[in-house]
Structure 1
């Protein structure tokens, strides 16, 4: 084996076994000293490879150690379909240098499912739910949308159907696609409300197509979602102020938010809903509120919200630095000074003040550091005797600027 040759070949194998492998994949298997993969994949392989066969262990991380131990030998790793689309490939190559590996992907389960159903992949939501909670589906549930889901096993199919029915989307048409591309392939169609009871014998590997239908509530795409989406005890940034707050925070793909004084977690949750790559850490002194915010985030499909229980600025010390900070409660001059010391230059900061004391603090910061100072006066129509009048809310003063 030449020093410059990749020692690891990652091969996507389908349910048709060796028949679907490319010439390059066959050559790599024939030359491999070790072939490692899930027992199901090894069983599909047949006599193509003559080297040592090694079952990938559970947990998955133990298999990474087996690969590292064989570094420099010729190793072929088997994975389902396309190893880099909700597959194991990215986790493996993360520990390797670019020249150490090569990949020969096969058709992905998404591609095979779309080919059976006639759905355009570019407008179909594709999601891997092998180890993820079903609530990840919640932001995607809108009538008329198509979803393709990769599931951990056959038992997950009726579980998804029951979840859809519980959310008011029991009319959704489901397509259970079992062992696509192989001799055991089977496709069944039915509505979620019925499938939750009847589809208990789906075989692994299984994908699920969902044509969403029903009268369930659809989570809006814009910020400032209705307050009723968020469990709360009164400590909530109300929808109109929240919309202005998120506009000032200006979330961007891949960025991390600190939400200090998280309360219900509504600002952090809307930040996470803005893009699947965003991150957020909520800091909340009240453990009950922190737990409630975590539950709401999970229910709305953004279980990646991290909650830290503690009082700022002391609780900020161990957190990874943010790209943006929102202070919704506990605003003090000491906290603002601690943020300047802790955060990178040009971190975006948005702070909302209700009291005269915190308003004065933000006014002073605006005078010293610039940025934007905004006063938000809101009023809602309410009964006034036999007629209606405007009922004002407490005004909010918002400062947005750079640390």
Structure 2
């Protein structure tokens, strides 16, 4: 551990170095090495002869360069608040906070709220810089206020298209460019009419969205049990009621990793990931056509980071990251599947398996006798027309086994 804080991270607004406070300016002036994007380094005097490092791609290479220069005095120039989807978050993964000083400028989110009169605590905030734009789809709901860091000038138009496709055509979109500079500009428009207003935008922009739903549209819940018609599938779909019970048994917690074995169209994995932005899932499926369903459903429902593995269990389960939870929706009776899943599960890990066949029930009962857990029968009936009347049609009952590994 170094006594001296050799690394500083200074957030800079669009007003440049002149907008820095005394402490931030002194950190920039006293550093022997400066790191930043070309835009930030261009703010320095032409006569500044100190060593300068420009961010590379992938960014990890530059992080390693910074670490190699320890304990020389290094100052990283960042945009706005380095700890708000910024480089400060990345650096703290590799360098202890005791070795660095971080001085933030106002974040784009804070500046946007100040311009719009929004309360930051009431707003959904996320970044699409270096991230799939489909992430935004899980945030659309009636009355939502969103602040989004754009990847570039094309992001606002894509967001407008996605809002329109999701039934939020009249949503108000405000694009805030270069906030805090003399070139600051605010552009407004409606999602369904984005082409008229969202031309010639700056790459550096923040998007504010007020979600206004079309008649009859409210958006999708983040709780388990989305409507069956929210998914494209070929019939291999865990039905809504059973899905809700299954997710309750799986009990997702932030940061946990799920193995979805025999994923079908991906409904369990997707609703697992929708429960919290940090939940992760690996969907294992052997059918090529169903892999396409999984990827399409994940994109439309806002979980593009789902990890899709083609293959048949148990062979496809080799060398995967250790799961916190495993769901087996298909293949319970295949040789070695339960054995492999149980072996991969760490202590206190959870396993849930659903079956609809007698042979599957026999397999689950054998394991129930060996390691315990809970057995449940899920029987659902839906009302459907019978001629001029209504009657109850039973769905195939599902036997569910859930267990915590001791």
TM-score, length-scaled by structure 2: 0.94
Which runs of no fewer than 5 residues in structure 2 stay unpaired? Answer: none
Cα gap change, 1:322/1:59 in structure 2, threshold over 3 Å: closer, same or farther?
closer
The residue that corresponds to 2:330 in the other structure is: 329
Question: In the alignment, is residue 175 of structure 1 matched against residue 168 of structure 2?
Answer: no
The residue that corresponds to 2:142 in the other structure is: 143
Question: In the alignment, is residue 257 of structure 1 matched against residue 283 of structure 2?
Answer: no
**1:4-403 counterparts in 2 under 5 A?**
4-46=3-45, 51-215=50-214, 216=217, 218-332=219-333, 334-403=336-405
- Offset at residue 14 of structure 1 (A): 0.4
Deviations, residues 78-133 of structure 1 (Å, cap 9, x unaligned): 01011111111122232223433221111111101111101111110111111222
- Contact map agreement 1:83 1:90 (CA 8 A) in 2: yes
CA distance in 1, matches of 2:190, 2:323: 44
CA distance in 1, matches of 2:34, 2:277: 35
CA distance in 2, matches of 1:133, 1:166: 17
Number of residue pairs matched?
A: 402
- Contact map agreement 2:232 2:265 (CA 8 A) in 1: yes
CA distance in 2, matches of 1:370, 1:359: 14
- Offset at residue 44 of structure 1 (A): 3.2
302-311 vs 336-345, which deviates more? Answer: 336-345
- Contact map agreement 1:145 1:212 (CA 8 A) in 2: yes
- Offset at residue 217 of structure 1 (A): 5.6
CA distance in 1, matches of 2:48, 2:82: 19
CA distance in 2, matches of 1:298, 1:218: 16
- Contact map agreement 2:257 2:323 (CA 8 A) in 1: yes
SS of equivalent to 2:290:
helix
- Contact map agreement 2:137 2:162 (CA 8 A) in 1: no
- Contact map agreement 1:284 1:290 (CA 8 A) in 2: yes
- Contact map agreement 2:142 2:218 (CA 8 A) in 1: no
CA distance in 1, matches of 2:394, 2:2: 74
Deviations, residues 291-336 of structure 1 (Å, cap 9, x unaligned): 3212211221111111111111111111111111111101036322
CA distance in 2, matches of 1:130, 1:177: 16
- Contact map agreement 2:326 2:345 (CA 8 A) in 1: no
Cα gap change, 1:59/1:326 in structure 2, threshold over 3 Å: closer, same or farther?
closer
SS of equivalent to 1:242:
helix
- Offset at residue 66 of structure 1 (A): 3.1
95-104 vs 51-60, which deviates more? Answer: 51-60
SS of equivalent to 1:44:
coil
- Contact map agreement 2:169 2:191 (CA 8 A) in 1: yes
CA distance in 1, matches of 2:52, 2:346: 50
CA distance in 2, matches of 1:66, 1:366: 54
157-166 vs 230-239, which deviates more? Answer: 157-166
CA distance in 2, matches of 1:75, 1:190: 43
181-190 vs 103-112, which deviates more? Answer: 181-190
- Contact map agreement 2:35 2:54 (CA 8 A) in 1: yes
Cα gap change, 1:48/1:344 in structure 2, threshold over 3 Å: closer, same or farther?
farther
Cα gap change, 1:148/1:46 in structure 2, threshold over 3 Å: closer, same or farther?
farther
- Offset at residue 357 of structure 1 (A): 0.9
- Offset at residue 266 of structure 1 (A): 0.5
- Contact map agreement 1:29 1:49 (CA 8 A) in 2: no
Which runs of no fewer than 5 residues in structure 1 stay unpaired? Answer: none
TM-score, length-scaled by structure 1: 0.94
Q: RMSD value over aligned CA atoms?
A: 2.0
